[in-house]
Amino acid sequence: MGRLSRFITLGSCLLMLLTVSCQQQESNASLRSPQLFRFQPSKNPIVPRTMSRLAREANIKIRMVPSNSRQRRAAKKIRPTFLTIHSTSNHSSSATAMQHSRALCRGAFSNRSWHFTVDQYMVVQNLPLNESGWHAGTAAGNHHSLGIEMCEAENLGQNHFRTWDRAAKLVAVLMKRYNINLRHVVPHYHWTGKNCPTPLLTNGRPGPKWGWFLSRVDYYYRCINGGTPNR
């Protein structure tokens, strides 16, 4: 190989490396971890329990979207590295976790799907955890995270605090199962800037209420991880 061709080959390799590096930066940018904004760890004493015990406390039921549905036929295989929190913005008295799940299963939300629906009484799983849903508004969000919807049916006497606390237990279990860092527990806002989950944002952005939610998640995580956080 002559000196010139060696130079051209070296140049091509450098160009390839630069291209790969830029692509890497792009994908990392879309998967950036937000700061733990105004996060203060809960000072509650740790109550040790197993992951399965905490999952039982969360009261997880199963009602899967049919595998031949449009959403599931278009799904990709995933391994979640983020958990995305939503709220339904549905205030009608029938908007419980089970009612949302039934509606999702019969195709009422044509272009949307998510993995769990939570209310003050239960968690309902709607998708397998190795399949992508359509909930985050971006491909990165859909292909790297599990979607968790929290109900807001105040008319039925839904208690927001109990719903958020149950969601925090579920999130802690999923963090442990998939070794997900607390910084990767994100509001829908993280992916698209949408004001979601509305009741946990402050003026449409993560603020003290979101920090409080993360502190509950962190607390339950430490309860099932020997007191050690993952943040």
CB of 135 to Zn ion, least distance (A): 6
Amino acid letter, residue 180: I
Q: Copy the structure tokens of residue 139.
A: 């491909």
Residue 144 interacts with Zn ion (CB under 5 A): yes or no: no
For the chain, give the number of residues: 231
Region 109-138 residues binding Zn ion, contact defined as CB under 5 A: none
Per CB under 5 A, the segment of 92-100, 138-146, 153-161, 184-192 that binds Zn ion is: 184-192
What is the rounded CA–CA span in Å between residue 50 and residue 200? 28
Residue 147, classed as helix, strand or coil, is strand
Return the number of the residue (188 or 222) whose C-beta is nearest Zn ion: 188
Residue 186 interacts with Zn ion (CB under 5 A): yes or no: no
Among 100, 166, 188, 222, binds Zn ion (CB under 5 A): 188
Residue 196 interacts with Zn ion (CB under 5 A): yes or no: yes
Return the number of the residue (134 or 219) whose C-beta is nearest Zn ion: 134
Burial status of residue 173 (CB atoms within 10 A of its CB: 0-12, 13-18, 19 or more): buried
Residue 86 interacts with Zn ion (CB under 5 A): yes or no: yes
Residue 149, classed as helix, strand or coil, is strand
